[in-house]
Amino acid sequence: MPSFDIHTHTSIFSDCSFIMPEDLIRRAAEVGLDGIAVTEHGMRWPDDKFAELEGLACAQDLVLINGQEIKTAGANHKMEGEFLVFGLRRSLTGNYSAKELVEIVHAEGGILIAAHPYKLSRGGRSHYYGAGDRIYDLQLDALELCHPGHDERAMKKVRTAMDKTGFPGTGGSDSHKLSDVGACVTLFENKIRDEEDFIREIRMGRIQAEKRK
């Protein structure tokens, strides 16, 4: 099954990452991935720059997907979690609540995945960097199941939510350093040639999540 790491950050557009895009591609090929998605914080790679990167990926037989990771907040700036967004032609730079984000992304033909919904924040128990139980109230397309910040307990919560909502589970490393690339992956039942295939197969739930280290 083709394996994709669908959650990565590069130092070009995510200040918190130490990964140069060229190294990301080289590393992805080294660890045997078939594809990779870049999901920078709050923005999507500009098309011209992304096309250059795609050229490098193509030479390594890797499929490259241009996504973004968007933070949401509701009234009183209360955090409502982060979401991986794919299929949009623009960066989502505004301030959105989780519900607003879902509406915008779907209106523009894209998909959303709740990023690390049960990754604990410093607030401790039941304070999450992700959407937490809010995933039950949102019309999402998938939930990130395998993530380095998800322990067994968090994964159990995501599996329960997958059962109840019918959303499929994805895997992504959320890499900010090179050695993490491919730590968690999404396995596709069918060949993925481009973004169109990628989005359709996630929507249809023809995927599995896997933790590799």
The stretch among 16-24, 46-54, 78-86, 181-189 that binds Zn ion (CB under 5 A) is 78-86
Interface residue with Zn ion, options 79, 105, 113, 115 (CB under 5 A)? 115
* 121 or 190: CB nearest Zn ion: 121
The residue whose two tokens read 């410093």 is: 122
Contact status: 143 vs Zn ion (CB under 5 A): no
- The helix/strand count (H/E) of the chain reads as 5, 9
For residues 100 and 71, the answer to whether their CB atoms sit within 8 Å is no
Q: Give least dist CB 189 to Zn ion, A.
A: 25
Binding mask 45-74 for Zn ion (x = CB under 5 A): ------------------------x-----
Four-point Cα dihedral 43, 85, 186, 147, nearest 10: 70
Q: Give least dist CB 130 to Zn ion, A.
A: 7
Nearest Cα residue to 170 out of 133, 200, 206: 206
The stretch among 95-103, 113-121, 151-159, 190-198 that binds Zn ion (CB under 5 A) is 113-121
Q: Give least dist CB 120 to Zn ion, A.
A: 13
Q: Give least dist CB 147 to Zn ion, A.
A: 9
Tallying the residues shown for the chain, one arrives at 213
Which secondary structure element, helix H or strand E, spans residue 47, and what is its range? Answer: helix 47-59
In a 3-state reduction of DSSP, which class is residue 99?
A: helix
Which secondary structure element, helix H or strand E, spans residue 57, and what is its range? Answer: helix 47-59
* 164 or 213: CB nearest Zn ion: 213
- For residue 39, the one-letter residue type is T
* 48 or 209: CB nearest Zn ion: 209
The token pair at 14 is: 């995510």
Beta bridge partners of 197: none
Contact status: 82 vs Zn ion (CB under 5 A): yes
Binding mask 6-45 for Zn ion (x = CB under 5 A): ----------------------------------------
For residues 9 and 38, the answer to whether their CB atoms sit within 8 Å is yes
* Contacts of Zn ion in 164-193 (CB under 5 A): 174
Q: What is the binding site for Zn ion (CB under 5 A)?
A: 69, 82, 115, 174
